[in-house]
Amino acid sequence: MKKTTGDQQLVKRINRSVLLRLLRQRKSLSRAQLANESGLTKSTVSLLVRELIDEGWIEETGLAAAQGLGRPSTPLRLHGTRRAMVGAEIAVESLRVVGVSLIGEVLWSAEEPLDDHAPEAVARQVAALLVRAQRELAAQQVLVSGIGIGLPGAFDEGSGTVRFAPNLGWRDVAFLPLITRALAEAGSPPMAVHVQNEADTAALSEYEFAGGEATDSLIFVTCGVGVGAGIVLNDRLFTGLQGMAGEIGHSILQIDGLPCSCGRRGCAETFLGARALARQAEPGRGGVYLGVVLQNLWTTFNPGALVVGGPSCESYPDIVPTARQTLEGYAASAGVAAPTVRTARYGLLASAVGAAALVLHHELRPMHARTASAPAPVEMPGYPPDVALPASIH
Ligand SMILES: [Zn+2]
């Protein structure tokens, strides 16, 4: 057997991700169509398809294509029940954990209150619920691909550290080693764990399970105790240098305004955070400020999709229509059409479902880590014989 080098492994992962993304986008394709659309040879496609079927990523639908019977034209699609990602949202007052299929279906979910904010206690409680999810999914014969966690703070991927989570009272908490150890202690098998800000994960719940929506940028604004934006640009989650990108709740709306949880004054959170809305006689007024926040994000990024979610949208249903009107008013003043603002598809589960989607986001972009510094040269001595370029597929 030939020795497989690191670069060959990367090429193989890229090619697998190309096939998976094609199937996600097009729903159903035969091996021949996959070869055609990816530019990979039929033999490479056959080999990879066999592997992906064996690992539960994709399945044959059993319906032979019209042009004739036989394996080459058997339609393939993502497997909807065999494989899942587990996602957790650490909110300020609660904890939500979900198991989500490759096509975005919630297979299992649970929620419990979070009463102790000490990092070790949070890690222990999250780990226990994540292990429960793994066991529930195993009982349904579902394979778990990895774990994603969304939390209300800025997460620095490079160091695995939560830089700043004012509503949890955390600063420079080395969370990744903490949760990795807690998972092992709770009995989890070793698996990939990804952590990100909860607004970022919420954005991925809309982006990764969009069902072929033709856009490579999306912004999700989450309204709860904190207010944050998850930003997808050019098909990648954009988190900034220290994971602080999209902390729109701490953009200043008033000089010398009310004190904010972050230590500054006059932040957006002091106008439309859940605590501010609870204080106001007219919480709908918070919707005007949400409209201001949306206006600022829209003019800064001009994203393909703008989504609003979070508990305040449920508790104060007036804020979203008011925000839309505000945004439309600004657009009319400038003589341009206002963007569409839609509400979260997964409702209160958006961040947890998106945390699961974070696993998929990394799995389908194997070049991500390498391109963070410099693009690695792709060498192809022997297997696999060819490489497709994932850049051409959304
Ligand atoms: Zn602030």
Q: How many angstroms separate the alpha carbon of residue 247 from the centre of ligand 1?
A: 9
| Ligand 1 geometric centre to CA of 166 (Å) | 9
Cα of 260 from ligand 1 centre, angstroms: 5
Centre of ligand 1 from the C-alpha of residue 172, in Å? 17
- Measure 249 CA to ligand 1 centroid, in angstroms: 6
- Give the DSSP letter of residue 267: B
284 Cβ neighbours under 8 A, 6+ residues apart: 316, 318, 319, 322
Hey, is 85 helix, strand or coil? strand
Per-residue pLDDT tens listing for the chain (394 residues): 455 667 888 999 999 999 999 999 888 999 999 999 999 999 999 999 999 999 999 999 876 555 555 555 899 999 999 999 999 999 989 999 999 999 999 999 999 999 899 999 999 999 999 999 999 999 999 999 999 999 999 999 889 999 989 889 999 999 999 999 999 999 999 999 999 999 999 999 999 998 667 689 999 999 999 999 999 999 999 999 888 899 999 999 999 999 998 899 999 999 999 999 999 888 789 999 999 999 999 999 999 999 999 999 999 999 999 999 999 999 999 999 999 999 999 999 999 999 999 999 999 998 765 333 333 333 333 334 344 444 433 3
Burial 72-95 (b: 16+ CB within 10 A, else e): bbbbbbbbeebbbbbbbbbbbeeb
Distance 45 CA to ligand 1 centre (A): 51
Q: What Å distances lie between residue 101 and 256, 291, 349, CA to CA?
A: 47, 34, 14
The CATH number of 83-201+350-362 is 3.30.420.40
Question: Residue 286 C-alpha to ligand 1 middle, in angstroms?
Answer: 16
Can you give the residue ranges of every domain in the chain?
6-79+364-392, 83-201+350-362, 212-344
Q: How far is the CA of 168 from the centre of ligand 1 (A)?
A: 14
Q: What is the CATH number that goes with domain 6-79+364-392?
A: 1.10.10.10
User: How far, in Å, from the CA of 331 to the mean position of ligand 1?
Assistant: 27
Q: How far is the CA of 261 from the centre of ligand 1 (A)?
A: 6
pLDDT digits (tens, 9 = 90+) for 358-368: 999 999 998 76
Q: Which residues surround ligand 1, an ion (CB under 5 A)?
A: 250, 260, 262, 264, 267
Handedness of CA 279, 113, 313, 200 (dihedral sign): positive
First-residue to last-residue Cα distance in the chain: 35
Exposed/middle/buried for residue 198 (C-beta within 10 Å: 0-12, 13-18, 19+) = buried
Torsion angle (degrees, nearest 10) of CA 339, 345, 346, 352? -40
Distance 164 CA to ligand 1 centre (A): 11
The CATH superfamily assigned to 212-344 is ATPase, nucleotide binding domain (3.30.420.40)
Q: Do the domains at 83-201+350-362 and 212-344 have one common CATH topology?
A: yes
* CA 223 / ligand 1 centre spacing (Å): 14
CA 270 to ligand 1 center in whole angstroms: 7
Interval between CA 269 and ligand 1 midpoint (Å)? 6
Give the Cα separation of 242 and 382 in Å (integer).
40
